[in-house]
Amino acid sequence: MPDPLRIAIAGLGTVGAGTLRLLSKHDDLLAARAGRPLTVTAISARDKSKDRGVQLDNLTWFDDPVAMAHEAEADVIVELIGGEDGPAKAVCEAALAAGRHIVTANKALMAVHGSELADAAEQAGAVLNFEAAVAGGIPIVKALREGLAGNEITRVYGILNGTCNYILTKMREERRSFEDVLDEAQRLGYAEAEPSMDVDGIDAGQKLALLASLAFGSRIDFSGVYTEGIRRISLLDIDYAEELGYRIKLLGSARRTEYGLEQRVYPCMVDQRFPIAHVEGAYNAVVAIGDFVGDTMFQGLGAGAGPTASAVVADIIDIARNHRAPTLGISAGSLQSLPAAPIGRHWGAYYVRLMVSDRPGVIADVTAVFRDEAVSIESMIQRARSETEAVPVVLNMHECEEAAMQRALTRIATLDSVVEAPTMIRIESLA
């Protein structure tokens, strides 16, 4: 029997405890698949006395995870602490300095420091695996890095945050406001008490930066991700989307353009003819388009103890098999530094909702602004009439450059007849 692969785990939160449970429950199965036993030898967490529902008695405890990365009898350090800097980063640096392999679920760390850590891992002759950092249990990192390696990837996009997808699904199905569903999501544990990482699109942006690097052979550029969240999405917009044949989804999308690498996260209108429009609840989905394979779609739970632990253990098994793929698909020295394409250069169609005073001349004023900016209206919906309240006017716009659309909306917002800031939602072309 080959020697066991020795594992030390830093961080025993939901994912860390879930990883220990999985390794214990399937020890024989995993040994068969890995070709050797997988043995946890050491652990580190903030509170030694906390009951995590797993057996820890036979494991060496370290109060300091960085010391564990240096000193534990381990071949692999599993970093599940979280955060882009601090102990998480120090653990990974210490592990690589000691020549140990790393498995991490830390999207924030990888989004900010992943290129540098990939450089360090290559210099150390170590493996740095991060499947669990993107889309939970969906094996999208392995798919882009290995399964689709024969293709030039032309685009990668997807639903990368289950919290936002859950909120948008509940709003539509139960006709409830964003604030009401967010409160419920926080009570159920789908959303954090401070939800900005999720609902403002930051979490999805971190994941997209990693997918873009894998897809396009570029250094990770989280600072180049354009990000919007879902706070401004209303039931009124969701209703109009359904009427027009769309679903509103928070999508992350990346592709190369003549202006550089386009990375963007925002709520958008997705045509209901596309499968991703029907991915609901807390599920994630990623579509990768290759020049030979065409469209490939991966769907599953994007977070939680089970799915994330599944991805962590899959990465550990690869190391046990001595399977070494470059962290980001190609050698770290070959990664390109691509310029970020400005959002103003984005070309697409748009949904615009205006709340206006119902009086003569309003539509003429609005259309005059769009005419001046060379933005063309495809269709318009205006039904209600009210003597005292503002009424919605919904416009579907032909494709145009975003900078022109933004200029038009800035001018329209100053019109006396427009009583609140215009709502603009991009209509995403997925064909």
Last residue in a domain, options 89, 106, 133: 133
In this predicted model, what pLDDT tens digit does every residue of 166-176 receive, in sequence order? 999 999 999 99
- What percent of the chain is predicted at pLDDT more than 90? 89
Is 265 inside a domain boundary? yes
| 116 has pLDDT over 70 | yes
| 127 has pLDDT over 90 | yes
In this predicted model, what pLDDT tens digit does every residue of 348-357 receive, in sequence order? 999 999 999 8
What pTM did the predictor assign? Answer: 0.95
Q: Are residues 413 and 369 in the same domain?
A: yes
Average pLDDT score over residue span 90-118: 97
- Answer yes or no: are the C-beta atoms of 89 and 109 closer than 8 Å: yes
DSSP line for 64-127 = -HHHHHHHSS-SEEEE---SSSHHHHHHHHHHHHTT-EEEE--HHHHHHHHHHHHHHHHHHT--
| 392 has pLDDT over 90 | yes
Q: Are residues 191 and 244 in the same domain?
A: yes
Q: What is the pLDDT of residue 213?
A: 98
Q: What is the pLDDT of residue 431?
A: 75
Q: Are residues 29 and 110 in the same domain?
A: yes
- Answer yes or no: are the C-beta atoms of 167 and 183 closer than 8 Å: no
In this predicted model, what pLDDT tens digit does every residue of 282-319 receive, in sequence order? 999 999 999 999 999 999 998 889 999 999 999 999 99
Q: What is the pLDDT of residue 388?
A: 63
Residue 279, classed as helix, strand or coil, is: coil
For residue 305, what are the contacts with CB-CB under 8 A and spacing of at least 6? 14, 15, 17, 18, 21
Lowest-confidence range among 70-79, 214-223, 300-309? Answer: 300-309
Residue 32: give its domain's CATH number: 3.40.50.720
- What percent of the chain is predicted at pLDDT more than 70? 99
Q: What is the pLDDT of residue 148?
A: 97
Average pLDDT score over residue span 402-416: 97
| 231 has pLDDT over 70 | yes
Q: What is the pLDDT of residue 304?
A: 87
In this predicted model, what pLDDT tens digit does every residue of 130-183 receive, in sequence order? 999 999 899 999 999 999 999 999 999 999 999 999 999 999 999 999 999 999
In the structure, what pLDDT confidence band is assigned to residue 47 with cuts at 50, 70 and 90?
A: confident
Last residue in a domain, options 95, 113, 133: 133
Is 225 inside a domain boundary? yes
Element (H, E) at 271: strand 260-271
| 386 has pLDDT over 80 | no
| 384 has pLDDT over 70 | no
Average pLDDT, the chain: 95
CA separation for the pair 146, 329 (Å, rounded) = 7
Q: Are residues 183 and 253 in the same domain?
A: yes
Q: Are residues 123 and 253 in the same domain?
A: no
In the structure, what pLDDT confidence band is assigned to residue 389 with cuts at 50, 70 and 90?
A: confident
Q: Are residues 120 and 151 in the same domain?
A: no
Average pLDDT score over residue span 380-386: 77
Is 357 inside a domain boundary? yes
Strand pairing partners for 264? 226, 253
Number of domains in the chain: 3
Is 328 inside a domain boundary? no
Q: Are residues 385 and 404 in the same domain?
A: yes
Q: What is the pLDDT of residue 185?
A: 87
Is 18 inside a domain boundary? yes
Average pLDDT score over residue span 186-202: 90
Is 331 inside a domain boundary? no
Q: Are residues 262 and 174 in the same domain?
A: yes
| 40 has pLDDT over 70 | yes
Residues spanned by the domain of 118: 5-133
Last residue in a domain, options 133, 161, 189: 133
Is 316 inside a domain boundary? no
Q: Are residues 86 and 207 in the same domain?
A: no
Residue 59 region by backbone torsions, left for phi larger than 0, else alpha for psi between -120 and 50, else beta: beta
Residue 222: give its domain's CATH number: 3.30.360.10
Is 312 inside a domain boundary? no
Q: Are residues 195 and 266 in the same domain?
A: yes
Q: What is the pLDDT of residue 189?
A: 80
| 39 has pLDDT over 70 | yes
Residue 401: give its domain's CATH number: 3.30.70.260
Give buried/exposed letters for 72-94 (b at 16+ CB in 10 A, else e): bebbbbbbbbbebeebbbbbbbb
Q: Which two tokens stand for residue 410?
A: 């800035």
Q: Are residues 286 and 147 in the same domain?
A: yes
In the structure, what pLDDT confidence band is assigned to residue 84 with cuts at 50, 70 and 90?
A: very high
Catalytic residues: 207
| 387 has pLDDT over 70 | no
| 276 has pLDDT over 80 | yes
Q: What is the pLDDT of residue 49?
A: 80
Q: Are residues 167 and 292 in the same domain?
A: yes
